[in-house]
Amino acid sequence: MTHKLATLSFDDGTWTDIRFAKSLREMKIPATFYLPSEYLDMFHYQMRPSEIRKVYAGFEVGSHSRWHSHPDDFRKTLEVASKDGEWDIRYAREYLQEFFGREVRCHSYPFGVVRWRPNFPSLAEAVETQGFDFARMMMRSRQEVERPIDRYRMKITAELPVDFDDIGEHEAVHLVGHSFRLVKQNEEASVFELIKDMKRNGFEFMTNHDFFTETWANHE
């Protein structure tokens, strides 16, 4: 790799995304927002669909399942891992594509979990069958970010907030954030300082899909 690659993704589709999206747009930083499809209603954002579309305009939207089902939620777990194991993933993707009027090509596993329990089907297979190009976990691996080994088990470098010193030496950096958590921790400003530092040090920011496409070329 001749230049340093960076990507940012934010999970969960909470209203605090509005603030991050606004600042990222002003800074011309591409990013990916992974949204649970069922969260895109008025009660969640207190906004109309047209306004929600404006929040994410220009950014990549990825799928983060329908309900962000938790492994401990027995009923929903059964739903997610139902016989074909694909329904939740298929429905979420179709809904998001319809809502935003564009293709959704990346998936992020809720809680980073690819297989709920030992006997349950792997969600990675469902994600592949449903035509996603890539899927992202929450597992960290510097080496596998730069040289991925499984396009449906893409790793991350770190979760925000993180110090530049911890990631600045890497050739490819994938940072993940939860905007509601960053706001609660009062870390909003530090995230944008980090982005500026990274740009100053030669990192080029791109969407998750572009980043995965570039790093996947190194997978062999």
Q: Which is nearer to Zn ion, 62 or 110 (CB)?
A: 110
Q: For residue 15, which amino acid is it?
A: W
Binding mask 104-143 for Zn ion (x = CB under 5 A): ------x---------------------------------
For Zn ion, give the closer residue by CB, 5 or 176.
176
Count of positions on this chain that bind Zn ion (CB under 5 A): 3
What residue type is 16 in one-letter code?
A: T
Q: Residues 35, 63: contact at Cβ < 8 Å? A: yes
Kindly list the distances between the CA atom of residue 96 and the CA atoms of 38, 146, 202, in Å, as whole numbers in the listed order: 9, 29, 33
- In this complex, which beta carbon is closest to Zn ion, that of residue 5 or of residue 158? 158
Judged by CB under 5 A, does residue 88 bind Zn ion?
no
Q: Which two tokens stand for residue 184?
A: 């609660």
**In angstroms, what is the minimal distance from the CB of 113 to Zn ion?**
10
**At its nearest, how many Å lie between Zn ion and the CB of residue 55?**
18
Residues 6+ apart with CB under 8 A from 147: 215, 218, 219
**Closest-CA residue to 215 (of 139, 161, 134):** 134
Dihedral angle over CA of 143, 146, 132, 27, nearest 10: 120
Of 15 and 164, the one with the shorter C-beta distance to Zn ion is: 15
Among positions 9-48, residues that touch Zn ion (CB under 5 A) are 11-12
- Residues binding Zn ion (CB under 5 A): 11-12, 110
